[in-house]
Structure 1
Amino acid sequence: METQLRDGRTAVAAGRAPVVLLSGVASDSHTWNLVYLQLLIEELGYDVVNLGPCVPDEVLVEACRVQDPAMVVISSVNGHGYQDGLRVVGKLRACERLVATPVVIGGKLGVSGEQSARNVERLVAAGFDAVFDDGGNGIAGFRDFVASVRAARRPMVENVETPA
């Protein structure tokens, strides 16, 4: 499935697996983290629409409206994930279609290293379902969370003709 976004970018997801929308925060130009996460999430059975780095909040919200993802994953390496995350999660949660969609953030969320428990609580209170800081729960916790979301989803049932 290919989606043309307002800013001219094209987002692609193939197949019939549930879609995870993956994005960097608006201020973060790093891509290696997004490639790694895409491969990890695909390994866990999802199709991934990778919006790439420096994604404006409005583009992320629009892509979510178009894709109706099973989950939204936001990554940061530049250390501004906490600030950008607080801002963008409010916009995502304001979209009626995304109220119950799992939204997570992870990576280097602050310039001074691992976030305090208070900052993680603020991110969760703002609307994130989980926060995966560079320290603490890291990639193992993220893998477990993604797998649990997959397990909690109902399998799609195709139309099956029954004999007359």
Structure 2
Amino acid sequence: MSDSKSSLSLRYYLTLEESQDGFALATFGKKQITRFITPLVCVAILVWGLYLGLDGVGRYYVALGAFFLVLQLLMRYWFLPMMFKRQFVKYQFGKSEQGLDLYQDYAEIFANGGTKTLHYHEVANFAEGKLTYMLELKSRMVVIVPKRALRDAHEHALFSNSFNKK
């Protein structure tokens, strides 16, 4: 049987917010709990320092925990978003059309005028964010697909079922 017609064809331009959502999925962890591990360790260091007492060695733990917590907050909520926005504007990622065609056994990715064929078994991670879907391939390439590119619930289900490994 021939796969000449795709079951789903998407063409889209990513916005800054969608790119940031996909970037957060790819870098801060695919599961919500993994985003909070490092700040929880910082809070645990703070609590340990308070337990030891502020008059002895505990004050160093409190200072260290507070320093790491402030550093985490600055990196996560100020520095990384600022740098991502600068790169997005500088390289004009939002002005290049991207696309994805789903077939029975494989998908085709369109970006920067080129085409890449990917088989569904090449997808290492699939995650759903607020605005986007993120596909991480075994080759460490990341594909970000905005949810707005999918028109109805049937297309969302078809897309999710194609890549989601249960």
TM-score range, shorter chain: under 0.3
Greater C-alpha Rg: 2
Q: Per residue, is there more helix in 1 or in 2?
A: 2
TM-score (norm 2): 0.27
Greater relative contact order (Cα < 8 A, sep 6+): 2
TM-score (norm 1): 0.28
Q: Per residue, is there more strand in 1 or in 2?
A: 2
